[in-house]
Chain A
Amino acid sequence: DIVVTQSPDSLAVSLGERATINCKSSQSVLYSSDNNNYLAWYQQKPGQPPKLLFYWASTRESGVPDRFSGSGSGTDFTLTISTLQAEDVAVYYCQQYYRTPITFGQGTRLEIK
């Protein structure tokens, strides 16, 4: 199975500042035949299901604010929130879908400093 590891486990950032969450897969999730990275990002707020933010590592889902960005390739990926808003407090997960079983990172809890 592909192991997906996020860092840090928790993060406290001041309002208006940048937040960066990292995701590392145990093997490359870049598929050479289509040059796509098989990685997604989700946001989960308390009492709610996860919400898709990005797929193909950097393709923003409709309705996701552009202060969110996804980047990276191969085994190393980053979710960045350029200017943190109060409503961004949540747990963030990355997920690889390169190979079954699909696997999730352990989650990163983002709080306001």
Chain B
Amino acid sequence: EVQLLESGGGLVQPGGSLRVSCAGSGFSFSGYALSWVRQVPGKGLEWVSTISGSGGSTYYADSVKGRFTISRDNSKNTVSLQMNGLRAEDSAVYFCAKGPSSSSWLADWGQGTLVTVSS
């Protein structure tokens, strides 16, 4: 069974940093691209970032480019999103999701971790 388990969410002040992570199991981790998608509670879905299976290619939404960094450790089956320069508008539930390629559908999703940026 495919499982994606996010962790690391919490409350952070504007301008601060936070790192969220996602641990995968039940599939060949390095064979799949992994993405972060966020959702303000009660609102729609916004793609944030994707990393290829090898980690050699990364992609970012314009809204986070230069502030967020995605990375993965295939030896530990984890993907992380380092978020710097956080703004109130970054507050959302952050989902980790798995797809067959770097631009594809997202077949499996974690339960999400809530990030709140507030003073």
Chain A residues proximal to chain B, CB less than 8 Å:
38, 40, 42, 44, 48-52, 55, 61, 93, 95, 97-107
Q: What 8 A-B pairs have minimum CB-CB distances, sorted nearest first?
A: A49-B109, A40-B105, A55-B105, A104-B45, A102-B47, A107-B44, A97-B103, A106-B44
The contact sample of 9 A-B pairs, CB cut-off 8 A, is: A49-B95, A52-B106, A55-B104, A95-B106, A100-B59, A100-B102, A104-B47, A105-B44, A107-B45
A52-B105, A95-B105 known; 8 new pairs, CB 8 Å cut-off, are A55-B104, A61-B107, A93-B45, A95-B45, A100-B50, A101-B59, A102-B47, A107-B44
Q: Contact partner of A50 among B46, B62, B104, B109, CB < 8 A?
A: B109
Q: Of all chain A residues, which has the CB nearest B48?
A: A101
Q: Of all chain B residues, which has the CB nearest A6?
A: B44
Take A49-B95, A49-B111 as given contacts and tell me if A97 and B44 are in contact as well, using a CB distance cutoff of 8 Å. Answer: no
B70 to chain A, nearest CB (A): 13
Contact A49 B112 (CB under 8 A): yes
Distance, CA A61 to CA B112, complexed state (A): 22
Chain B residues proximal to chain A, CB less than 8 Å:
35, 44-47, 50, 59, 61-62, 95, 97, 99, 102-112
- Residues on A with C-beta less than 8 A from B112 are 49
- Residues on B with C-beta less than 8 A from A106 are 44
Say what secondary structure dominates the interface of chain A: loop
Q: Of all chain B residues, which has the CB nearest A91?
A: B44
- Residues on B with C-beta less than 8 A from A95 are 45, 105-106
- Residues on A with C-beta less than 8 A from B99 are 97
Residue from the set A42, A48, A52, A93 with the largest chain B CB neighbour count within 10 Å = A52
Take A49-B109, A49-B112, A50-B109 as given contacts and tell me if A99 and B45 are in contact as well, using a CB distance cutoff of 8 Å. Answer: no
Contact A50 B59 (CB under 8 A): no
- Residues on A with C-beta less than 8 A from B104 are 55, 97
Take A49-B110, A49-B111 as given contacts and tell me if A97 and B105 are in contact as well, using a CB distance cutoff of 8 Å. Answer: yes
Q: Of all chain A residues, which has the CB nearest B111?
A: A49
- Residues on A with C-beta less than 8 A from B61 are 101
- Residues on A with C-beta less than 8 A from B111 are 48-49
